[in-house]
Amino acid sequence: MTRAVPSLLLAISLAAVSAQPAAAQTTTQPARQPAPTPTTTGTQHRSDLAVGYSFLWEAGLEDAPSNTYPWGWTVAYTQRFGQSRIGAVGEVTANYRDADGDTWTLWGFLGGVRFDIVRSGPCTVFGQALLGAEHFRASGFSETGFAFQPGGGVDLPLGQKVKLRTQADYRLSHQSEEDANFNEFRFAVSVVFGFR
């Protein structure tokens, strides 16, 4: 009777030791989830450079006819503040028209603030307000005055770092030489290159 007890205890101990590895093998480990792949579809670049075509229409003074400047270009640089919707904008633009063999040129040197009103994936609707100077030049005459240009537009994706921008702006220009205010409407289509 006394010899059976140690034998029974030894058998129980061996069974317990052999059961532990088996239990460890049957325990399922949680599957490792792969890290989500970052997407760039809705990326808003911190800065961008836009280069494109510009069309400008100028209302006539009093009874004078309006003027159309059908050829032009625009270059604009935008720097956003972190991930916010606000950015600083600098723009240089020029528009040209043929007036009886003489070329009239309107230059715009503007800077201000842009605000992203709507962000939907890679598409952006924005508004902006720019201040600066407008310079008019024709044969034998030139003048420079203050310019205020509010406007807005839409950025549509063409690729990961390239967008198409369409925009419309109203420009109020005061020319001191003539002491007159000019009302102008500018339309532009640009290719936008984004930078991180």
| CATH code of residue 119 | 2.40.160.20
Domain count, the chain: 1
Give the whole-angstrom CA distance, residue 114 versus residue 76.
Answer: 11
Please give the angle made by the CA atoms of 166, 186 and 72, to the nearest 5 degrees.
90
Considering only residues 11 and 163, tell me which one the structure prediction assigns the higher pLDDT: 163
Let me know if residue 26 belongs to a domain: no
Q: pLDDT-based confidence at 8, cuts 50/70/90? A: low
Query: How much is the pLDDT for 90?
Result: 98
What whole-number distance in Å separates Cα of residue 126 and Cα of residue 118?
A: 7
In a domain, 2, yes or no: no
Which uninterrupted H or E stretch holds 6? helix 4-26
Beta bridge partners of 48: 78, 194
Is residue 22 situated within a structural domain? no
Q: Which residues contact 55 (CB under 8 A, 6 or more apart)?
A: 69, 70, 72, 95, 186, 187, 188
pLDDT at 88 exceeding the cut of 90: yes
Domain containing 73 equals: 47-195
Residue 149 domain-assigned (yes or no):
yes
Residue 92 lies in a domain: yes
